Amino acid sequence: MRDQEVHAALDRHWAASDANDFETEHDIYLEDAVLEYPQSGERIRGRRNIQITRTNQPSKKRFAVRRVIGSGDLWITEYILTYDGKPSYTVSIMEFSGDKVARETQYFADPFEASTWRAQWVERMGA
């Protein structure tokens, strides 16, 4: 039953993220949660600081969840985060302690053009 509850909490989190509902978006974090962005070398400590940095982010953003997988204390969300119309393929790794996130790591990747040399062996994916 707990996995279903965590999955539902993640669904609420990502829906709130897309709606810019910053209070609901950050309900999922422990007060002393840690968020890391390895690509920029940043670590944000504390739910309040995480929320402040997201609230003050000046770009218009949208979230499109592709899939959520996990069980127990480890959950991964693949989604497309679009900043001002530019998509970034994103992976969020969330580590839970009880029913709240203790640690999250997010990785971002820009889209790139498919190589024509391998076209005969691949199929095109939609976003």
Residue 16 lies in a domain: yes
In a domain, 106, yes or no: yes
pLDDT tens-digit map of 47-100: 999 999 999 998 889 999 999 999 999 999 999 999 999 999 999 999 999 999
**Position 117 in a domain:** no
**Is 118 within a domain?**
no
pLDDT for 59 equals 86
Non-local CB neighbours of 84 within 8 Å, separated by 6+ positions? 59, 60, 61
**CA 64 to chain centroid:** 10
Percent of the chain predicted with pLDDT > 90: 85
- Quick one: average pLDDT of 3-16? 96
Task: Tally the domains of the chain.
Answer: 1
124 assigned to some structural domain: no
CATH of the domain at 31: 3.10.450.50
Structural domain harbouring 66: 2-111
Sign of the C-alpha dihedral computed for residues 108, 22, 33 and 71 taken in this order? negative
**What are residue 126's phi and psi, to 5 degrees?**
-85, 165
Q: What pLDDT, on the 0 to 100 scale, is given for residue 36?
A: 98
Q: Strands, E, within the chain: which ranges?
A: 29-37, 42-45, 61-71, 74-83, 86-97, 100-109
